[in-house]
Structure 1
C-alpha cells in the first residue's frame, strides 16, 4: 500500500512538472488548409474568364477596355486578391502533403514556386493601374508612361522571369511530388503537372481559365488527402504549458 501511494505521488509530481497539455488545433489547420488549396487557381480562373476582354498588348488598349466596364474590373480586383493571398499557403500545403513520399521533389518545387510567387508582388497590375487612372481622373498619358516605365524596369523584368519559372517549372515539380508521394489520388498530381507549365500559354480567355481550373482540381487533391489524414500524420502533437 505504501509503495502504491509513493508511485501515485511520483506520477502526480511528474505530471505537474510536465505542465498542462496545450490545446490541440491540428484539426483546425488541416481543415483550413484543405479549404484553401483549390482557391488561388480557381479564383484566377474566374478572374480570367470574367474580365471583359484581353488587352491589345499596350496600356492604351487596357484603358479602353477598363473604361467600358469599370464596375466589373473593380469587382474582379477582389477576386484577384484571393489569388494573391492564398497562392503561397496553398502551394506550401501541397508540398507539405507530398513531402514524406517525395521529399526532394516537394522541396525543389516549393522553393521554385515560392520564389516566383514572392517575386510576383513586384509586377504591375495593369488592370488596377488603369482603373485607378480612370476613377481618379489621372492624366492618361502620364499613367501610360508610368506603366511602360515599370515594365521596362530591370527589377520588374527579373521578377517577371521568376514568376514564370515558379508558375511553370515550380508548380509542375510540386505536382510531380504529389503524384509520386501517393498520398493523394494520381489524377491530382497529373492535373497539377499539366496545368502548371501549360495554362499560361493556352490562347484565349476560356482556354486559360480552363487550364487554371485543371490546376485547381490538382491542388484540391492535396486538400482531400489532408481531410483523410489523422492529426498525428499531419503534424506533431502540441507540447505542454510550463507550470
Structure 2
C-alpha cells in the first residue's frame, strides 16, 4: 500500500511537472499551429531538429497532465460539479497519449530522404478519422472539464478563487490562441494552467489527500456558529 505521503508527492509532481512541461514545450516547439499543412510542418521541423528533440523529451512531462487531473479533482472535493469535470477532462485527456505521437511522426518524417513520401504519410495521419476524432474530443472535453473543475475549486474555496478562475480561463485562452494564430494568447493559456495547478499543488502539500471518510468541503462561504441551549 503506497503511503499517503508518497501519493501526495506524486500528485505534486504531476501537477507541477505536467503543467510547466506543457508550457515549456509550447514555447520551444517548431510545430506550427492553426491550419498548417503537412508540408509546412515537416519543413519547419526539419529546420529546427534540436528544438524538436527537446519537444520529444518534454512530451513525457506533458503526459503527466493526465493523472494531474485526478489530483485537481481530489483537491476540489466531492461534488457533482467536480465529478462531471473530472470525467470529461480525464477521459478525453487520455487521447493525448495518442496525440503526442504526432511530434515523433513529424520528427521522423523530417529525417527521411524521401520528403514527398514523408509529407504524404503525415498528411494521411492528420486526416485519419481516429486522430481527428481524438483531437476534437480532447479539445472539447478538456475545455469543458477544466471549466467545471475550476468552478468547483472556486466554490469550495479549496484553493484561492483566482486559481479556480485561472483554470476556467486556461483552455479558453489556449484554444482561442491556436484558432487565431496568436501564440501569446495560447502561451497565456498554458501559463494560467501552471498557476491553477500550482495552487492545487500547494493545497496538497498543506492539507494532503482527503480520506475516504472525510466530509466534503462546503460550497462557498458558510457561516457557522456554535449551538446554544435556549
Q: What TM-score does the superposition give when structure 2 sets the normalisation length?
A: 0.82
Q: Which residue of 1 aligns with 2:104?
A: 128
Contact (CA 8 Å) 2:19, 2:62: kept in 1 or not?
A: yes
SS of residue in 1 equivalent to 2:159: coil
RMSD after superposition: 2.2
CA 1:190–1:208: 2 relative to 1, 3 Å: same
CA 1:236–1:108: 2 relative to 1, 3 Å: closer
Q: Which residue of 2 aligns with 1:189?
A: 164
Total equivalences in the alignment = 209
Q: Which residue of 2 aligns with 1:58?
A: 37
CA 1:32–1:97: 2 relative to 1, 3 Å: same
The separation in 1 between residues aligned to 2:139 and 2:77, in whole angstroms, is: 23
Give, in angstroms, the shift of residue 138 of structure 1.
Answer: 5.0
The separation in 2 between residues aligned to 1:24 and 1:117, in whole angstroms, is: 25
Give, in angstroms, the shift of residue 90 of structure 1.
Answer: 0.7
Contact (CA 8 Å) 2:173, 2:188: kept in 1 or not?
A: no
**2:92 paired residue among 116, 124, 127:** 116
Structure number with greater Rg is 1
Q: Which residue of 2 aligns with 1:159?
A: 134
Structure 2: where are the runs of 5+ without partners? 214-230
Q: Which residue of 1 aligns with 2:60?
A: 81
Q: What TM-score does the superposition give when structure 1 sets the normalisation length?
A: 0.78
Give, in angstroms, the shift of residue 53 of structure 1.
Answer: 6.3
Bigger relative CO (Cα 8 Å, ≥ 6 apart): 1
